Amino acid sequence: MTGEKQPVRVAVLVSGGGTNLQALLDALDDSPARPARVSRVISNRTDAGALARARRAGIPTTVLHNSSDPNELLAALDDAELVVLAGYMKLVPPAVVARFRRRMINIHPALLPAFGGPGMYGQRVHAAVLASGVKESGATVHYVDDEFDRGPIIAQARVPVEPGDTPATLAARVLEAEHELLPKVVLDLARRLS
């Protein structure tokens, strides 16, 4: 049928196991009613588990040779309309950020603006949250800019910090929130872009 809207093409940048990628794949299935689909998965690491998830789903993958080379990343992003950083541990070059301004998002495992910035990833974030004594943590989706975790916030999901939490137990609860929040934000942004 001509004139039918095509799903928004989403490129996902990853460095790790890919559970947020899997949450996106599950939410953005091939149903024609979905406004978006993951069209490519890009990693800075050849051993990223997310690449195996993408390959099992039949999604093309790219491993960057030099993640700080804007031309290489732009070429890998190709025809993407929306870019999602889902556990991507590298700073995106400014030229790439400029090309995808307000169309590149990141998910962070804390309530920004607290507990973000260089070196704040994985268990470090959750250990810092626990050390601070705050009563809640959560996940934040924000637009990517030229600094780690500083772009405008789009949405947050809150989870309680429980007595006796360890970085691992808090991380598990926050990850569940991430898996719900990220697909919702991607679907919302895709509807606006289509």
Half-sphere exposure of 62 toward its Cβ, with a 13 Å CA cutoff? 18
3-state secondary structure of 113: coil
Residue with tokens 């790790």: 16
Q: How far apart are CA 86 and CA 15, in angstroms?
A: 8
Q: Kindly name the residue from 108, 126, 142, 179 that is annotated as catalytic.
A: 108
Residue with tokens 């491993």: 63
Active site residue 108: yes
Contact criterion met (CB below 8 Å) for 178 and 109: yes
3-state secondary structure of 183: helix
Active-site amino acid positions: 108
